[in-house]
């Protein structure tokens, strides 16, 4: 039944109560989300430096932004980090979920072990991994002590490779969540389809590939959205793990915005950079939401 | 035969992976019980020769986080005071929002949902300054109330999403039948919907608890001395640099800070998965 | 019903945790050993005057997190009473119109007579005092482990040429010559010392205070950059991200022979029980004996809505400049008093030398603000310039020529 047809059956209270109930949250969102975005947008067109001010500056801040080398390093890093983080996180998560779905003994314990990193704050994760990946104290020293004298793992202190250490720590933290989502999804797949395929003689890997994974499309998309938003927002992790270094080789847009707005007294540039971040997020999310809504209307 | 080989392979992979996941926690823990000399001379994985929990005591009650040297204990309680209202309020709001958006749709409610949903993807740094200004006007800046408010506003999108997706899976017939029996909006919610909501309430509580407890950015920016949460305390403690960096105290402090959320996942993890299975984030 | 309970809960929270009127809230990031001890002294003295110290410590990033917290507080209309702000940032904050005037205190205590003009000007905004200085740090120090030098039969260097000779000798003896911490501000600190030693005071003034583009791209600058990069092979692989005091402890423990760092390093030596002149030496960074780059910590006072708190602020300012505080604080922190005319007998030889050089260079015109520590440029410019230096240090494919061009571009940042 369509919404308006439904509505026609409502009594007076029923027509207004839902709106009333939703109103506070909607208002909060309007003011604190969209209002602030507009405020921030305006700020990006002002000459704000240490504190916000209202002097118009046109596109000056955006120009400064686009000429800033640190910004482009941040953007590049975001692409590298996001694609590797999402890709490996998905792959590992799905793999673990499939394995765990095989009626394993001790599934409960294993599941908890894979899931607990999500409980940690990124600050804790970054600190722990920073220590483990430190050449003088962590993994490299361990290998040396074990006799592998020529083993090197200095990614953390290498300008070229520092962003990849953020991937390692990030994947460690989030792949358990992917696993949980896919495990839930796998459990929801109808057994009879699988049994029918098995009777037809298909091997287990083939069944997964051809039947089960395609059936999990909705879970793929939800996971993709959640991982993307974690990737874009990554701030705590980078700050704790590398601080953006060595130099500024591992900065990401979130840390760039923070530095500009708060540390460097270039608030206008910071606002411009967060508008860019927002635009990227919107470009990814709005089509998804649109398809969601359209799907629901038909469903 | 192939099956057994396959099983062995699966178990091996799972166990190796478990090792990779547990490694950092193991390292953190054994470092926290070692003496400083041992940490410097030994290596990451070496088992402590002498186990001492002195570092834990120091982290809790006497480590320096600035001029104060009272350890993490007061920050811990600040976090508790902030998390409980934050989690409860945002979950409650999410529940009724989800209820409306799933079962009492009206013209424009889908658009409202989409608008609220966009909040899930917002980078939070954008909010800092305007939020500070607004909290100032409201008179609750730098206080636990202010922090709770911020967390509720920012958590609204996720909690609404979770509940709405879950409630969509509840058959409309149930509602219709209840209405035929004369039940109204609230009655249906409390008598029918809520009792069925345990899995999703668990998921939301766990999710919100984790996010709010672990938040650092809002904590450092919207709090003052007596409302600073434990993440801020941990940061001050760990960044307290003396020529003798007390790794064991740092690690103990990090584990103390992480303990509540870890325990939540250990004990309530299965509800989390169950809740997800029941449709928290299904497309 | 739930909502009513919740709002009652919220109301009770806000009543329980509202800020008391007479508290003096102080924002700082002194959470390390020697610094925290010094801060405790300040707290004790303030409380002896009858006020309550409300600690607002935010560690990390040498003030980055603290500055964020400060900005949000100011924006929300609830600034702390005092915040650890130094250098041109004081003027930047003054521009925003949020600082409170300390002229009445300054006049009563005679600050104009107690502070050298180069310092007093930084503490003023448009002629009014808005901040109280706490100490004077000398940045261009070289800290030396004499035992290691003896072992390698090397001479403590006074010029950069001598430095490299000594470094080679040390390396041959299997000793790491330079302890280094790879963080942007440390990169800038070492670079600044090289620039001063290779280029001289006038070069320094033109390049970093006047930001003259020609000087920034000159052959002299390229020579400075090359010398700076030449230091890298004498440091160790684990330098990136290392905290300054961990580098100092390398020198303390005999793992490295030298460190180029400001005088707060002395605090670490003293805390480890080392004796200056015997266990460690403090000499001017190579080539800079006749110059002095200073870093002055100060507390800026914010306009407060509350009159009671203002009294606390004024008392804080008086305390900061008092001889008792200046002595006890600087003894703990490793710096020297900024208040002139103090009795320096309790200070060790390094401190005494610092005070003498401060007076001497002030008369000669080679008393220079340390740009690496935010004393010479606006935060935006300083950040951009430090970025270039860090990049140059970490990226082996960048040439000195390219770096100098980037420096000139960075200096244009407003």
Helix (H) or strand (E) holding C259: strand C256-261
Which residues of chain B from 196 to 255 reach within 8 Å of chain A, CB to CB?
Answer: 210, 213-217, 231, 234-235, 238, 247, 250-251, 254
- Name the 3-class secondary structure at C279: coil
Instruction: Provide the phi-psi class of C273: left if phi over 0, else alpha when psi is between -120 and 50, else beta.
Output: left
Same domain, yes or no: A127 and A3: no
Interface test mutation site (partner C, options A51, A132, A141, A267, max chain C beta carbons within 10 A): A51
Helix (H) or strand (E) holding C129: strand C128-129
pLDDT tens, chain B, 283 aa long:
567 787 888 888 888 888 888 888 888 888 888 877 777 666 667 777 778 888 888 888 887 776 677 778 889 999 999 999 999 999 999 999 999 888 888 888 888 888 887 877 777 777 877 887 888 788 787 788 889 999 999 888 888 888 888 888 788 888 888 888 888 888 888 888 888 888 888 888 988 999 899 888 888 778 877 788 888 888 777 766 544 567 788 888 888 888 999 888 888 877 777 777 666 555 4
CA dist B67 and C65 (Å) reads: 17
Same domain, yes or no: A5 and A93: no
CA dist B44 and A141 (Å) reads: 8
The class that CATH gives domain C24-137+295-354 is alpha beta
Which residues from chain C sit within 8 angstroms of residue A74, using beta carbons?
Answer: none
* A31-39 mean pLDDT: 88
Read off the pLDDT of residues C152-205 as tens digits, 9 standing for 90 and up.
999 999 999 999 999 999 999 999 999 998 888 899 999 999 999 999 999 999
Whether residue A102 lies inside any domain: the answer is yes
Percent of chain C with pLDDT over 70: 93
Whether residue A112 lies inside any domain: the answer is yes
> How distant is the alpha carbon of residue A159 from its chain centre?
23
What six digits make up the tokens of B152?
A: 């509720």
What six digits make up the tokens of C251?
A: 């020198």
Output the CA angle B81-B84-B87, nearest 5 degrees: 140
Query: Length of chain B in residues, anyone?
Result: 283
Is the distance from CB of A100 to CB of A107 less than 8 angstroms? Answer: yes
Q: Which residue from A minimizes the CA distance to C389? A: A247
Task: Enumerate neighbours of C (3 or more CB pairs within 8 A).
Answer: A, B
Same domain, yes or no: A98 and A215: yes
Which CATH homologous superfamily contains domain B73-235+259-280?
Answer: MetI-like (1.10.3720.10)
Output the CA angle A181-A186-A188, nearest 5 degrees: 100
Same domain, yes or no: A87 and A34: no
Read off the pLDDT of residues B22-56 as tens digits, 9 standing for 90 and up.
888 888 888 888 877 777 666 667 777 778 888 88
What six digits make up the tokens of A20?
A: 């009333």
Q: Using a CB–CB cutoff of 8 Å, tell me whether C248 touches chain B.
A: yes
Q: How far is A12 from chain B (nearest CA, A)?
A: 11
Which residues from chain B sit within 8 angstroms of residue A232, using beta carbons?
Answer: 121, 123
Quote the pTM value: 0.80
Other CB atoms within 10 A of residue C270 CB: 18
Is the distance from CB of C23 to CB of C46 less than 8 angstroms? Answer: no
Same domain, yes or no: A87 and A29: no
According to DSSP, the residues that pair with C298 across neighbouring strands are C133
Helix (H) or strand (E) holding C128: strand C128-129
Other CB atoms within 10 A of residue C392 CB: 23
Q: Which residue from B minimizes the CA distance to C54? A: B225
Q: Using a CB–CB cutoff of 8 Å, tell me whether A132 touches chain C.
A: no
Which residues of chain B from 173 to 192 reach within 8 Å of chain A, CB to CB?
Answer: 184-185
Do C39 and B67 count as a contact with CB atoms less than 8 A apart? yes
**Domain range list for chain B:** 2-52, 73-235+259-280
Other CB atoms within 10 A of residue C251 CB: 25
Do C92 and A154 count as a contact with CB atoms less than 8 A apart? no
Percent of chain C with pLDDT over 90: 34
Residue A4, pLDDT above cutoff 70: no
CATH of the domain at A202: 1.10.3720.10
Helix (H) or strand (E) holding C293: strand C292-295
Q: Using a CB–CB cutoff of 8 Å, tell me whether B27 touches chain A.
A: yes
For residues B44, B45, B49, B54, the Cα torsion angle rounded to the nearest 10 degrees is 60
Q: How far is A113 from chain C (nearest CA, A)?
A: 31
Q: Which residue from A minimizes the CA distance to C386? A: A247
CA dist A138 and C119 (Å) reads: 45
CA dist C182 and B153 (Å) reads: 39
Do C64 and A259 count as a contact with CB atoms less than 8 A apart? yes
- Name the 3-class secondary structure at A242: coil
Read off the pLDDT of residues A163-215 as tens digits, 9 standing for 90 and up.
888 888 888 888 888 888 888 778 777 777 777 877 887 777 777 777 777 77
Do A118 and B105 count as a contact with CB atoms less than 8 A apart? no
Torsion angles phi and psi, residue C56, rounded to 5: -130, 75
The closest CB to that of C32, out of B143, B148, B240, belongs to B240
Same domain, yes or no: A36 and A79: no
* Sign of the alpha-carbon torsion through B207, B212, B214, B218: positive
Same domain, yes or no: A27 and A127: no
* DSSP secondary structure code for residue A135 in this structure: T
Q: Which residue from C minimizes the CA distance to B148? A: C10
Same domain, yes or no: A4 and A124: no
Tell me which residue range forms the domain holding A11: 1-41
According to DSSP, the residues that pair with C27 across neighbouring strands are C56, C83
The closest CB to that of C240, out of A49, A245, A264, belongs to A245
Torsion angles phi and psi, residue C129, rounded to 5: -70, 130
**CB-neighbour burial class of residue C24 (10 A; exposed 0-12, middle 13-18, buried 19+):** buried
Same domain, yes or no: A135 and A279: yes
Helix (H) or strand (E) holding B208: helix B198-214
Same domain, yes or no: A24 and A126: no
CA dist C258 and C156 (Å) reads: 10
pLDDT confidence band for A15 (50 / 70 / 90): confident
Which residues from chain C sit within 8 angstroms of residue A241, using beta carbons?
Answer: none
- What secondary structure does DSSP assign to A175-243, as a single string? HHHHHHHHHHHHHTS-HHHHHHHHHTT--HHHHIIIIIHHHTHHHHHHHHHHHHHHHHH--HHHHHHTT
* Sign of the alpha-carbon torsion through B95, B97, B98, B100: positive
Exposed e or buried b per residue across A21-34, where buried means at least 16 C-beta atoms within 10 angstroms of its C-beta: bbeebbebbeebbe
* DSSP secondary structure code for residue B15 in this structure: H
Under CATH, what is the fold of the domain C138-294+363-410?
D-Maltodextrin-Binding Protein; domain 2 (3.40.190)
Same domain, yes or no: A146 and A207: yes
Same domain, yes or no: A37 and A93: no
In the predicted model, what is the mean pLDDT of chain B? Answer: 82
Residue C231, pLDDT above cutoff 90: yes
Read off the pLDDT of residues C40-62 as tens digits, 9 standing for 90 and up.
888 888 888 888 888 888 776 56
Do C238 and A157 count as a contact with CB atoms less than 8 A apart? yes
Which residues from chain C sit within 8 angstroms of residue A262, using beta carbons?
Answer: 64, 67-68, 71
Place of tokens 């109560």: A17
**Domain range list for chain C:** 24-137+295-354, 138-294+363-410
Q: C367-369 and C137-138: which strand pairing?
A: unpaired
């Amino acid at each position: 039944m369509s919404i308006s047809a439904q509505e026609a059956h409502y009594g007076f209270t029923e027509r207004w109560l839902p709106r009333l109930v939703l109103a506070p949250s909607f208002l909060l969102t309007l003011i604190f989300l969209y209002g602030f975005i507009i405020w921030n947008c305006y700020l990006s067109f002002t000459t704000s430096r240490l504190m916000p001010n209202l002097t118009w500056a046109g596109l000056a801040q955006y120009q400064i932004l686009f000429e800033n080398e640190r910004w482009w390093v941040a953007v590049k890093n975001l692409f590298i980090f996001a694609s590797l983080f999402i890709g490996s996180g998905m792959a590992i998560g799905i793999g673990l979920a499939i394995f765990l779905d095989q009626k394993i003994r001790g599934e409960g314990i294993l599941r908890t072990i894979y899931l607990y990193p999500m409980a940690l704050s990124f600050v804790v994760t970054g600190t722990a991994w920073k220590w483990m990946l430190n050449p003088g104290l962590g993994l490299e020293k361990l290998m040396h002590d074990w006799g592998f004298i020529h083993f090197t793992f200095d990614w953390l202190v290498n300008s070229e490779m520092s962003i990849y250490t953020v991937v390692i720590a990030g994947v460690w933290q989030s792949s358990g969540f992917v696993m949980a989502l896919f495990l839930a999804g796998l459990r929801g797949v109808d057994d009879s389809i699988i049994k029918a395929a098995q009777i037809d003689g298909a091997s287990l890997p083939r069944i997964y590939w051809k039947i089960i994974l395609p059936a999990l499309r909705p879970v793929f998309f939800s996971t993709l959205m959640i991982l993307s938003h974690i990737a874009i927002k990554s701030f705590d992790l980078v700050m704790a793990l590398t601080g953006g270094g060595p130099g500024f080789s591992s900065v990401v847009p979130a840390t760039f915005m923070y530095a500009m707005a708060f540390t460097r007294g270039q608030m206008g540039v910071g606002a411009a950079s967060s508008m860019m971040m927002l635009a990227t997020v919107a470009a990814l999310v709005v089509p998804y939401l649109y398809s969601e809504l359209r799907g629901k209307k038909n469903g | 035969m192939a099956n057994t080989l396959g099983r062995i392979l699966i178990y091996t992979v799972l166990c190796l992976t478990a090792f990779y996941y547990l490694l950092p926690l193991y390292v953190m823990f054994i470092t926290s019980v070692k003496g400083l000399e041992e940490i410097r001379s030994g290596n990451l994985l070496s088992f402590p020769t002498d186990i001492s929990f002195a570092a834990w005591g120091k982290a809790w009650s006497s480590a320096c986080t600035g001029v104060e040297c009272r350890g993490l204990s007061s920050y811990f309680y600040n976090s508790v005071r902030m998390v409980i209202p934050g989690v409860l309020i945002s979950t409650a709001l999410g529940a009724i929002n989800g209820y409306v958006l799933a079962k009492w749709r009206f013209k424009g409610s889908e658009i409202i949902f989409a608008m609220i949903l966009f909040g899930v993807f917002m980078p939070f740094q954008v909010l800092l300054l305007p939020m500070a200004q607004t909290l100032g006007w409201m008179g609750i800046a730098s206080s636990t109330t202010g922090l709770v408010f911020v967390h509720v506003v920012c958590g609204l999108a996720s909690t609404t999403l979770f509940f709405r997706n879950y409630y969509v899976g509840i058959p409309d017939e149930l509602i219709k039948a209840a209405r035929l029996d004369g039940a109204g909006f609230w009655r249906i919610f409390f008598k029918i919907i809520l009792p069925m909501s345990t899995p999703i309430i668990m998921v939301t509580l766990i999710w919100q608890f984790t996010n709010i407890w672990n938040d650092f950015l809002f904590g450092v920016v919207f709090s003052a001395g007596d409302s600073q949460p434990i993440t801020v305390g941990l940061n001050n403690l760990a960044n307290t640099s003396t020529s003798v960096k007390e790794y064991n105290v740092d690690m103990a402090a990090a584990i103390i800070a992480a303990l509540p959320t870890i325990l939540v996942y250990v004990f309530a993890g299965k509800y989390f998965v169950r809740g997800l299975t029941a449709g928290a984030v299904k497309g | 019903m739930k909502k009513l309970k919740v709002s009652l809960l919220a109301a009770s929270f806000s009543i329980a945790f509202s800020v008391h009127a007479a508290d003096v809230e102080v924002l700082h990031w002194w959470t390390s050993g020697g610094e925290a001890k010094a801060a405790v002294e300040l707290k004790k003295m303030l409380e002896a005057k009858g006020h309550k110290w409300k600690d607002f410590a935010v560690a990390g990033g040498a003030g980055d997190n603290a500055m964020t917290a400060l900005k949000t507080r100011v924006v929300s209309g609830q600034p702390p009473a005092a915040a650890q702000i130094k250098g041109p940032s004081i003027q930047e904050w003054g521009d925003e119109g949020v600082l409170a005037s300390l002229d009445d205190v300054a006049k009563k205590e005679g600050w104009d007579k107690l502070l050298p003009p180069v310092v007093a000007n930084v503490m003023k905004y448009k002629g009014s005092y808005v901040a109280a200085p706490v100490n004077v740090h000398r940045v261009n120090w070289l800290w030396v482990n004499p035992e290691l030098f003896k072992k390698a039969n090397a001479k403590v260097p006074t010029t950069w040429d001598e430095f490299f000779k000594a470094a080679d000798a040390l390396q041959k003896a299997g000793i790491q010559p330079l302890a280094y911490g790879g963080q942007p501000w440390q990169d800038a600190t070492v670079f600044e010392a090289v620039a001063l030693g290779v280029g001289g005071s006038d070069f320094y003034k033109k390049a970093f205070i006047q930001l003259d583009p020609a000087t920034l791209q000159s052959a002299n600058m390229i020579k400075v950059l090359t010398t700076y990069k030449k230091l890298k092979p004498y440091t160790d692989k684990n330098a990136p991200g290392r905290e300054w005091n961990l580098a100092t402890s390398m020198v303390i423990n005999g793992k490295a022979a030298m460190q180029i760092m400001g005088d707060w390093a002395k605090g670490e030596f003293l805390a480890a029980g080392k004796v200056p002149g015997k266990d460690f030496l403090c000499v001017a960074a190579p080539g800079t004996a006749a110059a002095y780059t200073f870093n002055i910590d100060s507390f800026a006072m914010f306009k407060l809505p509350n009159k009671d708190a203002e009294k606390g602020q004024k008392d804080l300012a008086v305390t900061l400049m008092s001889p008792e505080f200046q002595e006890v604080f600087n003894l703990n922190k490793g710096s020297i008093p900024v208040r002139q005319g103090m009795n320096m007998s309790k200070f060790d030889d390094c401190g005494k030398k610092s005070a003498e050089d401060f007076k001497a260079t002030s008369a000669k015109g080679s008393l220079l603000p340390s740009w690496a520590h935010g004393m010479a440029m606006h935060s935006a410019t300083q950040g951009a310039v430090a970025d270039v230096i860090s990049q140059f240090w970490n990226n082996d494919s960048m040439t000195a020529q390219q770096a100098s061009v980037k420096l000139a571009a960075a200096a244009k940042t407003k």
